[in-house]
Structures are given as structure tokens and as C-alpha cells.
Amino acid sequence: MIQSQKSETPSMKRHMGMKASSRISNTASYVVLVLISVIWLIPFVCILLQSFRCESTHQVGYIIPQKWGLDNYRNLFNTNFPRWYTNTLITALFAAVFQTIIVLCMSYTLSRFRFKMRKPLMQFMLILGMFPGMLSMIILYQVLKDLGMTQANSVPGLILVYIASSGMGYYVSKGFFDTISKSLDEAARIDGATRFQVLMKIILPLSKPIVIYTVLTAFMGPWGDFVFARYISFNVSAGMNAAVGLYGWLSQDQISKNYTMFCAGGVLVAVPVTILFMCLQRYYVEGVTGGAVKG
Amino acid sequence: MKKLLSVLLALAMVLSMTAGAFAASLEGTYQLTIWVAEEIKDLTAQQIEAFNSSNEYGITIAANIEAVSEADAATSMITDVEAGADIFCFAQDQFARLVQAGALSSLGKQAAEIVRTSNDAGVVAAATSGDTLYAYPLTSDNGYFLYYDKSVIPEDHVDSMEAIIADCEAAQKYFAFEMGTSAWYNAAFFFATGCVSEWVTDDDGSFISVHDTFNSPEGLIAVKGMKKLVDSPFHLSSSDGASFASNAAAVVTGIWAYTTIESILGDNMGVTDLPSFEVDGVSYHLGSYNGCKLMGVKPQTDPVKGAAIHRLAQYLTGEACQMERFDARAWGPSNLAAQGSPAVQANPGLVALYTQNAYSVPQGQIHGSWWDIAKVIADDVKNATDEAGLQQALDNYYEKISSLFTMSDDEKTSWGVIGTCNSVDGFFYTDYNNESRSNWAEDIPMTADGSVWTTEPWLMEAGCEFKVRQGKSWDNAFPADNFKVEETGTYRVRFDADTCEVSLIPAE
């Protein structure tokens, strides 16, 4: 091919050849991408379609509903689902706010301050972070139970658990703060700004992506949590989050009655996260990669 | 004077307290948590209302009812008994775990007597550990039978497994019968040929021993039948009633799937007992487990509250409440009077279940590990290519069952006699005159005198064989070839652990 181009094709023709070949490779990659996205989207589409199925409530062997409608969504409001949803929302919002504050303060401190135990502290947290959190579940359950924060009161208990160790997740944002020039701080300090003002007025406006990334991850954890939430709520419906409550509908005696409603619940759980991601996607990517490069 | 007054007052106080205690009045309001299945949650609330207004003890129950499936209740209870419900419902296979965990309080004498006389024998056995009754029977419908699509399988074919498989293959539709994922279903084949798996528990819910004959000539017939089913390309290992909506023509499942299947198949729904399968020209009717759901009461620190809760549990499992559950949700009653009522007798699903019950085995106490050990048989059978492979599946099973009982050091080191000598007609060993005991299945104990071990004397027939083995395992067993009895007579078996020599001593 190269040889033939060299020997007889004028430059104009070669240009068209390149165009054609790039078109072929584009088509091929689009076909592959479409295929992959179809495979990737099938479960979501299935759940979405099943949630609109009205002719029956059990699992069926087809995907497209025969009778469409919003019955499943309407029925959700006659169950405990609104309560579960509220629980999840409250937990996730509180966790997001507190965790963000703690993480940002922690990162700022470790990035800008120099104190005696700084390095040992960072190493200690690194090692502590390797300890699988699930192992502490049983002891945490006992502690929360003694504090009266399980069963129906599980929401404050869960918030406490989610934000408790959040200070250790400082890596990404500290990395990002390190990229912001220190001379900015110094300039502000000379002009009379306090450390806090430096954080609020200089650092944070410059690190929007990382703040948004922190908020998002802090929100997502509690939003989709199942294991811990199930353990803490201990079969009390009023203390469940959406994932735990919905799971109850999959038990043998309920699945044929509640399967489509389960799908509707799943869709509603996915909605806020999807919207959040769509709006903040740009920052999210910047945030993930931003902290990785040290300037 | 003051002193006297105070003494009198104190006395009066003590008297009033003891009087209260003796009268043991249950009158009062009790706060409790109750876990029931979602579908009877509202019904249970109504039943508790009815109990509050009608009971003669003046008990008022303020119940907090949570929907917890019977499958999850036991696990939650064991995780944290203290935080668990005061009354909870569970499937009977969880019973032993709950007794062991101390999550069940036993029934009083009177209550136990009422439960024993008014419920069917299978459920009473399921709620009993040792001699103690620990739970109230809620249903007796936890068994399985055959649902089929009349448009695919003609009614006169449903008695034969082979015919059903053929019909399904011809119609390119599935025969759903859960095999490799559930011992509860695949045991049907073993019960068909008369195999047994019986576990013995003591009063604390601990397992003492097992009598299991799955690894036997009958067991081999059973796995041959199973092989026919699992080898069919149209066998589906599932017990989901909704399989009918995805190309199944026959499903083996329980009464809980009735309404779902009815809504899918409509008039084409057929229900009947399980079919028979044929091996070497002999037909065997598939067996099944028949099980139940139970209602348990958590042990209480306050005995008065405990008594009140037991009254409630007794009421909730009585005939009237069971009938209400049948009317509302078609839960098959365990109460004998309710079982005999015309309404129950008119329910086709329950009639099929009761027909199948003639071939079923009451699901007694079963070791928790058994389910996982036994379900593997079906996969081993599917992978087997010849009879040796089938036998291997049973051998694997037997080995795992045997290893379940960890023995004490004494048991591990002591010797025993095992063979055909303890079960031949007319021959007996003092404790071993039970003819149903299989050959090579039970060890006859020996007692030690220094390094010499001997049995009690018993009558042995010429030609019977045995080995002496240590710790009920084959690691140390003598003689290498079985010891053969040459002449009929009453003997003691003698074993010298130093020389490993086995001999018979004629009894004086």
C-alpha cells in the first residue's frame, strides 16, 4: 500500500485514501463502541422497562412490557419506600457535607502546615487505611447498639459511621492542593489574611473540581451502601435505607408480588445520582486526574 | 411505737408483693416486636387486635410488627438475640440453630400438650429437640409437588417422569426441577427408593449422630433416576414458579408459587403429586420433604411477660388464626381440625401436596452442613459418565457426612466392630437387635483391658464378616481381609492392640 502510494498516487489522491481509511477505522471503532455500550446498558434498560410493566408483577421471560403504565411507581408510595428513600437521602447529604469539610480541612493542613508529627501521621493513616473496614463491623454494631443508634434510630448511627474515618481519605485532594503555588498563600498572608481565609478565599476557589469530586464520592458511599446499613437497621423497616428495604422485596415469598415495584424503586434510587453526575461530570474527571499530577 | 409501725408497714409491703406474685396475674400491657412475613403482616395486626379484646387474662399487646422473611429471621436472631423480635416466624430447617443459640424459649407443659394433640405429627417433630417442644407450628405446607402446563403435557403422562421429559423435549420447553442448587429438592430421588437420612439431636439442639443410607444400592438406583433427569437438555435447575413465563412446561415447587403460576397459565395449570421414574424396569414414586413454618418465642428476662407472649403465640397458631391465614393467603394449616375443613380440602394445590405427603418424609432436625453436602450430588451425577462415576458421587457424599461429627479423644482412640454380623435376621447383639440397621453402618463398642479390647458376647452366624476399626474410621482397621465367622455361635470379639490380632472367644 505504502509502496503504491509512493510510486503512482499524486498527493490529492493520497489525501482521499487517508480519508477513506480513517472513515473505515472510525466506523469500526464506532461499531465496537456501540456494541460495548449495548452490552453495558442492557441491565439498566431492562430494569427501566420492567418498572413500567403493568400486566404482571413477577419475573417474566421478555423485556418489552405488554401494558405500559406508572402503576409500580404509584404503588411505591403505599409502601415504606418513601421512608427508606428519605433515610438514604438524609444519611447521604449529612455524610457528604461533613465528610467534605473534614477531608478538605485535613488535606489543607497536611499540604500547607509543617509540624512535627506530620510525616508519621500520614504514614500511620496510610497503614490504618489498609485495614479492611468491614472487619470492624461487628464491634461498631455493638457500640452503636449501646448508644441506641441501631434499628429504628439507625440514621444518626450510619451518619456517624460514614463520617468517622473520613479524614483518612485526604490523598487526592492533598495532591491537588500541593499543585497550587505556595506563593499565593504567602502573598495573602502578607496582606493580613488568616490561615482560614487563605483556605476559603484562595485555595477553595482554585480547586473547584476537587471539592466537587469530594462531595460526590462522599455522597455516593452512603447512597449505595448495603452491608452496613442492613446490619445496623436490623430488620426494622423504619431504619432501613433504600437498598436494604428494596432487597427485602426479593425474598422468596415476596418476589413474585413485588418484582416490578423493586425495579421502579431501583430507577428512583438511580435518578438523583445520574442527574448529579450529568451536571458535575466535567469537574469529576478533572478532580480524579487533577490530584494525580504534582506541579 | 415508731419501730413497730415500720415493721408492720414493711410486713404489709412484703405480703402485698408475694400475694401479687402468687396470683401471677398476666394482666397488663406488653410492648413487643413481632417478625412475620410481609404477606401476613396486616392480618397478624388484626389477629393481635382480636386477641387483645378476647383473651381471658386481661393481656393487652402493643405490638410492633416488622416484615421479615422466614428465611432471614433465624440468621438475624442468632446475630443478636437481644435485639431480635420477641415473636418470630422461621422455616423449620433453622430450628436446631436457634435452639443452640438460645433464641427459643421452651413451651410450658400445658401448652406443649395442646400443641402435640392438635397438630400433625410431622410438625410436632420439627419443633421438638430431645423431648422438649420449642416452637409453635404455624403451617404444614412446606413441601413440593408438580405444576404443569396442560397444553403441553397430557394428564395421563404426569405420573411418569420419563413421559414428562419426553413431552418437554418434544415441545422444546423446560422441565424445572431444582437439583444442583438444593438438597431439599434433589433428595426426592433418594426418598423414592427408600433411602433415609435421619439426624439425632439432644435437648440442647446439638447433633449427636446420623443414620444415613444414601450411599447404598438403593441410593445408586436413585442417582440413576436423577441422571435421566439432569442429562436432559430441557432440564432446568430451578424452583421458580415464574419459569412458566419463560418457556417451562413443568415446575416442581411449593404452594407459595400457586397464585403466580395460576396467573401465568390460567386454565392450563395442572397440579398433581410428583411423578415416578423407572430404573431397571422398576418404578419408583418420587418422594419429597414435607416441612413447616414455626413460630418461636424469644426467652424473656421477665417471666410474666414471657408467659403473656406465650399465650399470644398459642393464640396466633391456633385453629382460628390458621384458617384465617389459609383464607387470606392459602397457607396450609398444621392444625388437624383446620386441615380437615372442607375449604382446605377444596384447594387443588393443597390437595396435591397432601397426596404427595403419602410419599414424603417429615423434615426433622437436619444438620446445617448437610444441605451443602447433599446438593453437590446432583452436579456429580451430571458429570458422571458411568456407574462407577455415580457410585463415586455417593462415596464423596458419605465421606463428607462422616466427617461432620468430630469425636472426643476417647472416641477417636477406642476400637469397635463393624460388619454384616450385626444385622442378619435372628441375630442380635444386646443393644443391636434392631434389624433395620444397615450392614457396615454402625460400630459395636469394645471395652479395653490394658491393650486388649473385647465386646459383649452375641450370636453370630457362620459366614458373616466384620472388621475391627479405630475411631469409626478406616485408617486403622483389622484384619486386612474381613474376619469371617466360620461356625455359628455366641462369641465375644477380642482385639489385641499390640499385635493387631483379631479373634473370637466363645462365650461361657
A59 vs B83: CB contact, 8 Å cut-off? no
A248 vs B260: CB contact, 8 Å cut-off? no
SS3 A147: coil
**Minimal C-alpha gap between A256 and chain B (Å):** 7
Which carries the bigger pLDDT value, residue B500 or residue A287?
Answer: B500
**B429 — pLDDT class (breaks 50, 70, 90):** very low
| Grid cell listed for B74 | 433465624
Residue B182: the pLDDT is: 86
* pLDDT, mean of residues B42-49: 94
**B30 — pLDDT class (breaks 50, 70, 90):** very high
The answer to whether the beta carbons of residues B227 and B384 sit under 8 Å apart is: yes
**A128-133, Cβ contacts within 8 angstroms, sequence gap of 24 or more:** A128/A168, A129/A168, A133/A165
The answer to whether the beta carbons of residues A166 and A102 sit under 8 Å apart is: yes
CA A108 to CA A78: how far, in whole Å? 47
The domain segmentation of chain B, as residue ranges, is 22-140+291-335, 145-289+364-372, 409-506
| Grid cell listed for A226 | 448495603
Residue B421: the pLDDT is: 67
* pLDDT, mean of residues B365-370: 79
Residues from chain A that touch B38, judged by Cβ atoms under 8 A, are: 248, 251, 253-254
Which carries the bigger pLDDT value, residue B221 or residue B507?
Answer: B221
Residue B407 has pLDDT above 70, yes or no: no
Nearest to B126, CA basis, from B290, B287, B330, B322: B290
CA B99 to CA B129: how far, in whole Å? 8
**DSSP β-ladder status, B59-67 and B28-36:** parallel
**DSSP β-ladder status, B501-506 and B248-253:** unpaired
Residues from chain A that touch B85, judged by Cβ atoms under 8 A, are: 235
SS3 B33: strand
Residues of B with CB under 8 A from a CB of A: 35, 37-39, 66-73, 76, 79-80, 83, 85, 240-242, 245-247, 256-257, 259-260, 263-264
Length of chain B: 508
Residue B438 has pLDDT above 50, yes or no: no
Q: What is the ipTM of this complex?
A: 0.71
- Please report the DSSP string for B465-476 in residue order: EEEEEETTSSSS
Rounded alpha-carbon distances, angstroms, from residue B218 to B39, B111, B189, B221: 41, 41, 10, 5
Residue B461 has pLDDT above 80, yes or no: no
B304-344 tens-digit pLDDT? 999 999 999 999 999 999 999 999 888 889 998 998 899 88
B83 vs A251: CB contact, 8 Å cut-off? no
For testing the chain A interface, which of B76, B80, B264 should be mutated: the one with the most A CBs within 10 Å? Answer: B80
Residue B425 has pLDDT above 50, yes or no: no
**Minimal C-alpha gap between A25 and chain B (Å):** 40
- DSSP code at position B83: T
Residue B16: the pLDDT is: 46
Residue B423: the pLDDT is: 45
| b/e B239-271 (16+ beta carbons within 10 angstroms → b) | bbbbbbbbebbbbbbbbbbbbbbbbbbeebbbb
Q: Do domains B22-140+291-335 and B145-289+364-372 have the same CATH topology?
A: yes
Taking CA–CA distances from A61, the nearest residue in chain B reads B246
Which carries the bigger pLDDT value, residue B508 or residue A212?
Answer: A212
Residue B234: the pLDDT is: 92
Residue A15: the pLDDT is: 56
What is the phi/psi pair of residue A192, to 5°? 100, 10
CA A197 to CA A146: how far, in whole Å? 40
Residue B431: the pLDDT is: 43
Residue A3: the pLDDT is: 45
Cβ-based neighbour number of residue B181 at 10 Å: 15
Residue B87: the pLDDT is: 95
A235 vs B85: CB contact, 8 Å cut-off? yes
Residue B441 has pLDDT above 90, yes or no: no
Residues of A with CB under 8 A from a CB of B: 56, 58-61, 141, 145, 150-151, 231, 234-237, 248, 251-254, 256-257
Residue A1: the pLDDT is: 39
**Minimal C-alpha gap between A224 and chain B (Å):** 21
B266-300 tens-digit pLDDT? 999 999 999 999 999 999 999 998 888 999 999 99
Which carries the bigger pLDDT value, residue B425 or residue B128?
Answer: B128
Assign 3-class secondary structure to B165-200.
HHHHHHHCCEEECCCCCCHHHHHHHHHHCCCCEEEE
Straight-line distance from the first to the last Cα atom of chain B, in angstroms, rounded to the nearest whole number = 86
Q: What percent of chain B has pLDDT over 70?
A: 89
Taking CA–CA distances from B248, the nearest residue in chain A reads A61
Q: What percent of chain B has pLDDT over 90?
A: 35
Residues from chain A that touch B176, judged by Cβ atoms under 8 A, are: none
Residue A2: the pLDDT is: 44
Residue B22: the pLDDT is: 40
B39 vs A254: CB contact, 8 Å cut-off? yes
A235 vs B35: CB contact, 8 Å cut-off? yes
B246 vs A141: CB contact, 8 Å cut-off? no
**Minimal C-alpha gap between A83 and chain B (Å):** 14
CA B184 to CA B374: how far, in whole Å? 9
What is the phi/psi pair of residue B125, to 5°? -60, -35
Q: What is the CATH number of domain B145-289+364-372?
A: 3.40.190.10
Q: Let me know if B458 is exposed, middle or buried by CB neighbors in 10 A (0-12, 13-18, 19+).
A: buried
- Mean pLDDT across chain B: 84
Residues from chain A that touch B66, judged by Cβ atoms under 8 A, are: 235-237
Taking CA–CA distances from A141, the nearest residue in chain B reads B80
Residues from chain A that touch B260, judged by Cβ atoms under 8 A, are: 58, 256
Residues from chain B that touch A58, judged by Cβ atoms under 8 A, are: 241-242, 245, 260, 263-264
Residues from chain A that touch B242, judged by Cβ atoms under 8 A, are: 58-60, 256
CB-CB: which of B35, B247, B260 is closest to A256?
Answer: B260
Residues from chain B that touch A232, judged by Cβ atoms under 8 A, are: none
A251 vs B69: CB contact, 8 Å cut-off? yes
Residues from chain A that touch B70, judged by Cβ atoms under 8 A, are: 253
CA B128 to CA B257: how far, in whole Å? 28
**Minimal C-alpha gap between A82 and chain B (Å):** 16
The answer to whether the beta carbons of residues A236 and A220 sit under 8 Å apart is: no
* pLDDT, mean of residues B159-170: 93
Residue B24 backbone class (left: φ over 0; alpha: ψ -120 to 50; beta: rest): left
B76 vs A150: CB contact, 8 Å cut-off? no
> Domain A76-290, what architecture?
Orthogonal Bundle (1.10)
Residue A99: the pLDDT is: 94
A150 vs B83: CB contact, 8 Å cut-off? yes
**Minimal C-alpha gap between B195 and chain A (Å):** 29
CB pairs under 8 A between A and B: 66
CA B508 to CA B506: how far, in whole Å? 6
H/E segment holding residue A177: helix A171-179
Residue A8: the pLDDT is: 47
Taking CA–CA distances from A231, the nearest residue in chain B reads B76
- DSSP code at position B237: -
Nearest to B398, CA basis, from B424, B365, B429, B376: B376
The domain segmentation of chain A, as residue ranges, is 2-51, 76-290
Contacts of B215 (CB under 8 A, 6+ apart): B394, B395, B397, B398
**B428 — pLDDT class (breaks 50, 70, 90):** very low
A145 vs B80: CB contact, 8 Å cut-off? yes
Residues from chain B that touch A60, judged by Cβ atoms under 8 A, are: 242, 245-246
**Minimal C-alpha gap between A105 and chain B (Å):** 38
A234 vs B80: CB contact, 8 Å cut-off? yes
For testing the chain A interface, which of B68, B94, B239, B262 should be mutated: the one with the most A CBs within 10 Å? Answer: B68
B39 vs A251: CB contact, 8 Å cut-off? no
Residue A97: the pLDDT is: 94
**Minimal C-alpha gap between B286 and chain A (Å):** 24
Taking CA–CA distances from A237, the nearest residue in chain B reads B66
Q: What order do you get walking across the sheet with B269-272 strand by strand?
A: B235-236, B174-176, B248-253, B145-149, B269-272
Residue A5: the pLDDT is: 45
Q: What is the CATH number of domain B409-506?
A: 2.60.40.10
- Please report the DSSP string for B87-146 in residue order: EEEEEGGGHHHHHHTT--PPPPHHHHHHHHHHB-HHHHHHTEETTEE-SEEEEEEE--EE
What is the phi/psi pair of residue B501, to 5°? -100, 135
Rounded alpha-carbon distances, angstroms, from residue B136 to B57, B77, B205, B295, B305: 20, 17, 16, 5, 17
- Please state which of the four CATH numbers 3.60.20.10, 2.60.40.420, 1.10.3720.10, 3.40.190.10 is assigned to the domain occupying B22-140+291-335: 3.40.190.10
Per-residue pLDDT tens digits of chain A, which is 295 residues long: 344 444 444 455 555 577 888 899 999 999 999 999 999 999 999 999 999 999 888 888 788 899 999 999 999 999 999 999 999 999 999 999 999 999 999 999 999 999 999 999 999 988 888 888 778 888 888 899 899 888 888 999 999 988 987 888 888 889 889 988 899 999 999 999 999 999 999 899 888 888 888 888 899 889 988 988 988 988 888 899 999 999 988 887 788 888 999 999 999 999 988 888 888 887 777 766 665 554 4
Q: Amino acid letter at B189?
A: F
Taking CA–CA distances from B65, the nearest residue in chain A reads A236
Residues from chain B that touch A254, judged by Cβ atoms under 8 A, are: 37-39, 69
